[in-house]
Amino acid sequence: MMDNYGTPSLVLERGEGAHVWDADGNRYVDLLTGLAVNALGHAHPAIVEAVSTQIAKLGHTGNLYVNEPALKLAERLLDIAGEPGKVFFCNSGAEANEAALKMARLTGRTKVVSTIGGFHGRTMGALTLTGQEPKRAPFAPLVPGVSHIPFGDVAALEAAIDDDTAAFIVEPIQGEQGVMVPPAGYLQEARRITAEHGALFILDEVQTGIGRLGTWFAFQQAGIVPDVMTLAKGIGGGLPLGATIGFGAAAELFKPGHHGTTYGGNPVCCAAGLAVLDTIASEGLLEHVSSVGKEIAAGVEALHHPAISGVRGAGLLLGITLREAVSAKAAAAAQKAGYLINPIQPDVLRLAPPLVLEESDAQAFVAALPTFFEETP
């Protein structure tokens, strides 16, 4: 394998719920869940049954034909969004954002505004939207016409967006930047400003969508509706699946021949997606996510540990902020203790556990957290 990721520290062999086992038989509580992907944890019976049944019937159709799981999933996504629109299925968050960028070009405008620190993927268009220069620099020149402004700054947004702007794209919470939460009212102001100038408001919910924050989508918490929403990660419950959803007039931008994908809308992946949505609804996982997330945040705050400065985020997307740049050492200590967490920034530990995380595992993690800093200078 190419050296994209360095040498991995673990070989994982199997999983069940929020737990995984490595090749040596050691068990871990998975608080990262494949970068917020395995929404129902590992080997969830509903996904196993849905995928097994579908692969035995029809494994792939391509984009020349429609299949029932894809059509049903599109209908369900619009239903839980509560808005009329149209869905384009793809395979990842980067692809979903590539589609959104092409939709922006179909407005007849070319100027796109994104945010510093935002992460939207690593393909060339999505990388252009990403506001992290170390990831962008080796691949310049990128797609022209994209600028980046400070995240959460309404004045900067007012100054950047004008009548020539095609779109503004933003994450409701910047996950890769360290679970950065914008000031109250920011998304509402972004919706107002883009609407005033006729620009698309593209909300990247690749990480925040499908119940991660305790509601189906982050935009529902903000009381707004974007023109375009991108999804991936949790939607497939572990299988590669992404979606770009256009609401209102944006739903009509793509016409035949404008965009496509061979694997997008794969019936097996869409069957898994339906199982994810059905299980979240039937098991009351939105309420569970909100409750357990608050319990973790309150528990970490109550530790009053000298290495920890606070907790930010929502639902089960949390960032534990540290007073020193020791996240890598703390994550290594956590792994030795049987917990997989993500040192997303030098001074931030990211938690993105499965939505089915049990309270007992959450409580045990909080209790163990102080020990992760004992070997840290």
**Residues at the annotated binding site?**
93-94, 119, 122, 204-207, 261-262
Q: In what order do the strands lie in the sheet with 27-30?
A: 12-16, 19-22, 27-30, 339-340
Catalytic, 119? Answer yes
Q: Which residues are annotated as a binding site for N(2)-acetyl-L-ornithine?
A: 122, 261
Sequence-separated (6 or more) residues with CB below 8 Å from residue 126: 93, 94, 95, 97, 98, 101, 120
Catalytic residue among 30, 204, 227, 361: 204
Contact 100, 146 (CB under 8 A): no
Q: Is the link from the previous residue into 354 a cis peptide, with omega within 30 of 0?
A: no
CA atoms within 13 A on the CB side of 284: 4
d(CA 132, CA 137) in angstroms, rounded, equals: 9
User: Looking at 88, 89, 111, 119, which residue is catalytic?
Assistant: 119
Catalytic entry in 151, 233, 254, 365: 233
Sheet holding 348-351, edge to edge: 308-314, 317-322, 348-351, 342-345
Helix (H) or strand (E) holding 331: helix 327-337
Chain centre to alpha carbon of residue 1: 25
Tokens of 157: 């947004």
Rg (CA), the chain: 20
- The yes-or-no answer on residue 57 being catalytic is no
Distance between CA 347 and CA 326 in Å, rounded? 6
| Phi, psi angles (nearest 5°) of residue 162 | -140, -170
Cα–Cα distance between 283 and 331 in angstroms, integer?
31
Find the helix packing angle between 267-282 and 285-303, rounded to 10°: 70
User: What is the residue whose two structure tokens read 């950065």?
Assistant: 180
Per the annotation, binding residues for pyridoxal 5'-phosphate are 93-94, 119, 204-207, 262
- Direct distance between the N- and C-terminal alpha carbons of the chain, in angstroms, rounded to an integer: 34
CA distances from 146 to 126, 182, 313, 324 (A): 11, 21, 27, 34
Which amino acids are annotated catalytic? Answer: 119, 204, 233
